[in-house]
Amino acid sequence: MTRLIPVAATVAALACSSVVFAQSPAPAGNAQIGSQKVQMCQGCHGIPGWRTAYPEVYRVPKIAGQHQAYLVKALQEYKSGSRTHPSMHAIASSLSDADMANIAAYYAQLGLRVAP
């Protein structure tokens, strides 16, 4: 019985550590550098209420103000193919990890701006 306690503690520690790693913040990005890389994003995500017809008609999601970690993860998933969208896959495939972090930092900080 005393052998089971250290094993159970190890299993619990591993389970908790995986939760911590799963929720770790996105790599630090530079919003200023990211602002110079968003031309390819603005054509769809920069138009309020924009709808596109490729590959089907859908509303383009708002990304300004989204959490940086979410944006990085989404771009990584488009790049890997675990999220499927032809245009987003092509765009994400051209980005480095630093590009993703910088673009995400730029869009995340847009939500922090207060209208005058």
Tally of CB atoms within 10 A around 63: 21
State both tokens at 20.
């911590």
Q: At what angle do helices 97-110 and 68-80 cross, to 10 degrees?
A: 140
Q: What is the CATH number of domain 29-110?
A: 1.10.760.10
Q: What is the pLDDT of residues 1-54, one digit of tens each?
A: 455 454 444 445 544 444 444 455 556 899 999 999 999 998 888 887 788 776
pTM of whole model > 0.75?
no
Amino acid type, 108: A
Q: What is the pLDDT of residue 59?
A: 83
State whether residue 59 is helix, strand or coil: strand
97: enclosing H helix or E strand: helix 97-110
Amino acid type, 97: D
Q: What is the pLDDT of residues 62-112, one digit of tens each?
A: 899 999 999 999 999 999 999 999 999 999 999 999 999 999 999 999 976
